[in-house]
Chain A
Amino acid sequence: MYFILIVSTLALAVSIYTLNYLEEFKNKSLFAFLYTSFIASIILVVISFNAFTFLISWEIMSVLSFFLVIFEYKNEENKKSGFIYILMTHLGTAFIILSFLIMFINTGSLDFKDWFSADISTTAKFWAFIFALIGFGTKAGIFPLHIWLPKAHPVAPSNVSALMSGVMIKTAIYMLVRYYFEFLTDIPWWFGFIVLLIGSVSALLGVMYALSQHNLKRLLAYHSIENIGIILMGIGSSMLFVSNGMPVSAGFALLAALFHTYNHALFKGLLFLGAGSVLFKTHTKDMEKYGGLIKLMPLTSLFFIIGSISISALPPFNGFVSEWFTYQSLLLNTKININTVQIFVPIFASMLALTGAFAAACFVKVIGISFLGHPRSEESRNATEVGLFMLTGMGILAVLCIIFGIFPVEVAGVISKAIEPLTGINIANDISSHGGFILTSTDYHFGRISPLGLLIAGIIFAVGIFVLIKLFGNSKVRKYETWKCGLDEVNPKAQYSATGFSQPIKKIFAVLYKPVEKIVSVENKLKYFLPEKKYEVHLSDVFELLITKITDRFLSFLLWIRNIFQIGIIHIYLGFISLTLTILLIYVVWFSGGGN
């Protein structure tokens, strides 16, 4: 039910946005059909009650989203990305089917109801756990199965990217939660630990690859990986509590995960819509060509900045609250008396801190390069504010981001109802005090925040400073041009670039990016007199290279086998046929009792 709420909220905002965005496409009716069926299929996935209907609606959802990804099919890149997407999705579905089969063999039913607390052996549980993690993980985009995500999201129309990132990948989270909390009970502690580990690695690597991107939508796609990682950290830490018999803390950690799921849907939807608006007006995804949009598209910029602050987990917006929950549940994790957990959980927390800080760095870059400064190209110089419906769609999400950040207790109450069946305890009363003004950890003395209090304090301070300055200060303002160290030339290219902004981090973590740098002389220019040179840097995703390499090896292995058999001489083919027949005859006669 809770997931349907998420789907509906985002779908409403995105649909309003779409009313204007449709102008982009030629074939409007086809898009409308695919789009509405896509939303319906997501809902179908969430409400399906047995494995069979689940798989069917899962496939419908995958195929429809594939069509939406390649909607602008005339572009060669789109088709290629779509192909990788459909390939990876089906790989994932194969693992999901494997996992379902294990459950089916062990329980003898396809109904999800019969799988509750399934009484199966630990080995079977282990395989069901691993296959589910790989299968749903592919859809959710955990490392290193994420490679489709940064390819498919940027080429899809922006409203579809918002839905895919906001809710489609959450269906995988939904099923993981059902799997690990309803179907597989009595799990050993290291199941949770594995999920926690994968979550923190995904979060950190996701944000680090995001930082190196200057394609706006690809950057956001990598941030989806980061946020899925944070959600998985909450789930993992909750599983640790469950296997150690601490239901209250388990509920708290799961609350962290589900709260972040909702928040991610809100701010990622908002950011993709914002990116879509910019794209709609400038027709380029390259951040190096943006600039100065805050004056040309003031409202879009404002909404985008709200989304950025939320995703960077800064108060008083919603990202901060769910990340605070995650920190608190990690801290509670150290009460579990297992040394590995006690030592590693603080390390995971530091990884989460690093993730948050990198996310902030990344969005300073996005805002700074795209919206501030001068326009860097003709397209962005001519950008204008987008239409009313697009603004309304983004506005709804932005307002929700603020409300969720300031009144988290009410939201947490709704979520705790959703998790009550999973952990058996309603923790709504444990996490709030003073009539919902203060949000606490499950233990009041352990830690507490009050986002509303922070906001009020901030407003009081703002008024105080303002009054003091009015009384004592000089409020004259003189407009003058930016100091450029004596240069008089106004050249937008002299501004800091997106590549330059993330260069320190690229250099520090060069292992991950494998940068290839070169300086190319521009053709038809003299080499020494007024030379004109270009600096090119190519970054790659190490994991993508790795997966490409592995599949490459695998393919050449298959080809090598084929090479042995497919020689091209007809005698040898005939020989193979008779050999096969002989072997089959021998098998039938000797092993199956004479063929009857």
Chain B
Amino acid sequence: MENLTIGLIQFFILVAISPLIKGFIHKVKCYLRGQKCASIWQGYRDIYKLLKKEIVLSSDASWISKVAPYIVLISTLITASFLPVFNSHTLLSFTGDIIAFVYVLALGTFFLALYGMDQGSAFGGLGSSREMTIAALAEPALMMVIFTFALQTGTTNISEIFAKIHQAGFSQFPISSVFALMALLIIALAENGRMPVDNPETHLELTMVHEAMILEASGRDLALFEISSWIKLTLFLTLASNIFVPFGLYNETTFVSVILGIVFFLIKIFLFAIPIALVEISMAKLRFFRVPDLMTFGFVLALISLVVYYL
């Protein structure tokens, strides 16, 4: 019962803070640019507003358009319930390991791309094509990072990877971890459609990847898509922060330590969100055909991380 409660708390934390993290990144960017900015709570207001609006559905749309937003959100939620925040007892740690984590997320991407093509609009097709290309190119590097951690800890179960890393501390394979972190940053930027790969702030044809696919979405469909993309970003940040900063009150069940664990997690995740904002204000978007270079770079970093582990 206690484990179930802890699992539920972790799941709700991940879902609840995701709009906050999005707002936080935006706020940091505004601050660095010297702009006045929307409130950090804007994400919650957006979701509420979109839920209250009616849907405008294309008359060319089929049932794919109706189910895709749900499947995208469900796949994100399932992966969210794999991921430990401050305790290894997650809701679904028994049903899937880190390979399933990647593939369940891929199911969401698959339906998102189908949604893009469903209305017969050229924009959607363009977005789907680019999204699938980028996702495909990011995949080998991601799998390489996963393999490195699976080898270091001798398991592919996310909860056990986290538990073992927290036991052993950061010092076990420091160089390998640094390279893996760099690779994971690049992957996270690509998978979440962040700056050098895709610009989440514009609706121009030249920069559109993620935004192009959901161009036709409106009302609650758009709300579901938005919240899933925010949760996905939070998932990657949690993964990175819990693997690379393995300190803090982990796996303790007294009430005070749970509260402290949550606070510590929040500090960690906000620290990890800052680099994304920094990259976004300091770099221009890459030309689309330069993205493979970036992805290859990520793969090479992951490979170095693996080789260093064996040395």
Footprint of B on A, CB under 8 Å? 291-292, 294-295, 309, 312-315, 320, 323-324, 327-328, 331, 334, 339, 342-343, 346-347, 349-354, 356-358, 360-361, 363-365, 367-369, 371-374, 438, 441, 445-450, 453-454, 457-458, 461-462, 465-466, 469, 472-485, 492, 494-497, 500-505, 507-508
Closest to A308 in B: B110
CA gap between A458 and B74 in the complex, in Å: 6
Say whether, besides A351-B140, A448-B97, A482 and B55 are in contact (CB < 8 Å). no
Footprint of A on B, CB under 8 Å? 51-60, 62-64, 70, 73-75, 77-78, 81, 91-92, 94-100, 102-104, 106-107, 109-110, 113-114, 116-126, 128-130, 132-133, 135-137, 139-144, 147-148, 150-151, 154-157, 160, 215-216, 219-220, 223-224, 288-289, 292, 299, 303, 306-307, 310
A521 CB to nearest chain B CB (Å): 24
Closest to B105 in A: A314
A473 CB contacts on chain B under 8 angstroms:
51-52, 220, 223
Say whether, besides A327-B99, A354-B140, A368-B117, A494 and B62 are in contact (CB < 8 Å). no
B122 CB contacts on chain A under 8 angstroms:
484, 494-496
Q: Is the CB of A331 within 8 A of B103?
A: no
What are the 8 closest A-B residue pairs judged by CB atoms, nearest first? A496-B125, A368-B117, A373-B120, A453-B95, A447-B156, A350-B140, A361-B132, A357-B136
Q: Is the CB of B133 within 8 A of A353?
A: no
Say whether, besides A373-B118, A447-B155, A501-B128, A477 and B55 are in contact (CB < 8 Å). yes
CA gap between A358 and B129 in the complex, in Å: 11
CB contact between B92 and one of A324, A453, A484 (< 8 Å): that residue: A453
A331 CB to nearest chain B CB (Å): 6
CA gap between A472 and B52 in the complex, in Å: 8
A472 CB contacts on chain B under 8 angstroms:
51
Q: Is the CB of B78 within 8 A of A458?
A: yes
Closest to B78 in A: A457
A477 CB contacts on chain B under 8 angstroms:
54-55, 57
Q: Is the CB of A508 within 8 A of B120?
A: no
CA gap between A503 and B57 in the complex, in Å: 29
Q: Is the CB of B136 within 8 A of A358?
A: yes
Closest to A441 in B: B156
A-B contacts, 9 of them at CB < 8 A, read A314-B107, A363-B110, A371-B62, A372-B120, A446-B157, A457-B78, A474-B51, A476-B54, A485-B123
B156 CB contacts on chain A under 8 angstroms:
328, 331, 441, 446-447
Q: Is the CB of A481 within 8 A of B94?
A: no
CA gap between A275 and B306 in the complex, in Å: 42
CA gap between A564 and B297 in the complex, in Å: 56
Known contacts A357-B137, A360-B109; 9 additional CB pairs below 8 A are: A350-B139, A354-B139, A367-B117, A372-B120, A373-B120, A445-B155, A457-B81, A473-B223, A477-B55
